[in-house]
Amino acid sequence: MENPETIDWKTIENELNTKGYARIERVLTSDECDTLSGDYEHAALYRKTISMERYRFGLGEYKYFNYPLPGLIQQLRQSFYPRLAPVANLWMQQLNLPHQYPADFHTFQETCHARGQDKPTALILKYGASGHNTLHQDLYGEVFFPIQMVIFLNQAGEDYTGGEFVLTQQTPRAQSKAIVLRPNKGDILLFTTNFRPVSGSRGYYRVNMKHGVSEVLSGERFTLGIIFHDALS
């Protein structure tokens, strides 16, 4: 994994503030990606399996990891959170919201657990041909962190076709904007969990965002989702 200290965080912060998402290229090696996707069938790693079709979430499957998380996933969670907390706090300040996020991940996790949110939310997702994920937000309780990440574990155009990552931005009193992204294997995409501030003529206002996956046309698509807040169940 690339050392988080070498990432251009000023650029990442600017992209999150202006667009609500930021792509970081080649954070994980190909071997690290293959190990994560190869562990998909190791049942002991996971606490729950969800069939998207059963719940009308789309077509595909995902699995929530157990605690303790695999070392690489725990490292990503702990090392990225302190870099993102200042952005999250700025957003809350701009929107005049009372939420304030601690500087370190351990303290934030204690806040989640104090509210009964003690189940891990890191998950791995698998899609086959025709697989897709409907537009949604990953909120698991009262406590939330407004930025999350997805890591692309195989290569678009080689391991699968279609399956683009889709973001929608719903601006008040306007039509929704669609953003379609196609990161490469090992890339991380940081994006808004539920809403973000946008600067207008009268100050900042709130825009809601959702994310999903377009239809996979062929092959298999694997991604790793890392949400910083824990879940009630």
Q: Cβ contacts of residue 17 below 8 Å, gap of 6+?
A: 87, 90
Per-residue pLDDT of the chain (233 residues; tens, 9 = 90+): 988 889 999 999 999 999 999 999 999 999 999 999 999 999 999 999 999 999 999 999 999 999 999 999 999 999 999 999 999 999 999 999 999 999 999 999 999 999 999 999 999 999 999 999 999 999 999 999 999 999 999 999 999 999 999 999 998 878 899 999 999 999 999 999 999 999 998 899 999 999 999 999 999 999 999 999 999 99
In contact, 226 and 144? CB cutoff 8 Å: no
Kind and range of the H or E element at 189? strand 188-192
Identify how many contiguous H helices and E strands the chain contains and give both numbers: 4, 15
CA angle 153, 91, 87 (to 5 degrees): 50
In contact, 213 and 166? CB cutoff 8 Å: yes
pLDDT in tens, 194-211: 999 999 988 999 999 999
pLDDT at 5: 86
pLDDT at 202: 86
Q: Could you give all domains of the chain from N- to C-terminal order, each with its CATH number?
A: 4-226 (2.60.120.620)
| Integer Cα distance of 233 and 226 in angstroms | 16
pLDDT at 151: 98
pLDDT at 3: 87
pLDDT at 134: 97
Which amino acid belongs to residue 31?
D
Query: Is 82 exposed, middle or buried, given 0-12, 13-18 or 19+ CB atoms closer than 10 A?
Result: middle
pLDDT in tens, 66-88: 999 999 999 999 999 999 999 99
The structure tokens listed for 50 are 């969800």
From 64, 207, 201, select the one nearest 123 (Cα to Cα).
Answer: 64
